Structure 1
């Protein structure tokens, strides 16, 4: 059976030069395509970025998974650079002294260990949300033109938006303090979730907005169940290793 799409375009592969590298860099900051254009749509027209990426405008948008990896790496870098995890330093020093100096049932020890693991495996725990949010968005909205794989793309763009928020908010840690910074990040993320979901699925009616609320609570409920389950596995491994 012949593949239904025929590509007749001939491509010429040019050598990499400093000029070409410079032009490629400029293309990333093109306001009508590339990185800046993608970031602008993430916050101004998230519905448009999904429609472009899943249809004829994909060449204008940075690949969703490539942007996810880039934005996550940058958010982790900014997180450590800005020192938002300073509250873990005291625990980490004590942790190196060994599990034998603590009680197995010590909730403070367990809590500190979970925080340490969460920051060490931040990208893993962040990306776990993508398939979970994707499956419930697929089931709740039941929009026929989006299959589950496309819902994964949609949620990847959403996580990219969260990463951008983190990149902007984390450096304010030294200005506003740790707790206000985390509260600001939480409320901005909450607002972005509803804005992104409503714009992507074009939910303007009251019933459709209620679906967004349902998606928020159901997806986060199962996300945190999975999150704590995986955290429990990591904690058990770390405690067993410390005892041994």
Structure 2
């Protein structure tokens, strides 16, 4: 009726109302709570996986990602098959020593065989900084004095790449440090252009030694 007041709630009604509000608040909090196992642990926002999730990943997804022994064998067989189709020049450039040695056994003097550009296996190995391949090729009889069609040499290409150890190894074989290519470039010039300080030092030392020896011979001839 109009003007009639609602009856005040008794203590029992108050308890029921509070209980209902608490339950609704708990449900709301549960709905907004972060998923278990992904709560921020203060390590830069990286989610933390609980032990149960980790074991699931290890037993499930990781197991699928691990390659089987059969697939690894197939991959290795494919790689070996690819290596078998490469030329001695490609093998030298890639430093594939075992395959290179296998190919060189197939014929005489293949160690100095030039490709279409006149590059020998030694020139290719020196150009790509394959020091162990260079060492073995020299031991197998590779000619360090060989020149390609445009007068490229193992020494000039090693100097261009800054491969000091290879430069020194070739200098020990008495290669000509003043050899020039089609562009008029010398090993020293390429080392300077590339800012390869150690190569420059090695070449300059060798040049000083050769000039000194040359003067000694000239002076002896004048006596």
Q: Same fold (TM over 0.5)?
A: no
Bigger Rg over Cα: 2
Give the helix-richer structure, 1 or 2: 1
What's the TM-score, normalizing by structure 2? 0.30
Asked which structure has the greater RCO (Cα within 8 Å, sep 6+), the reply is 1
What's the TM-score, normalizing by structure 1? 0.28
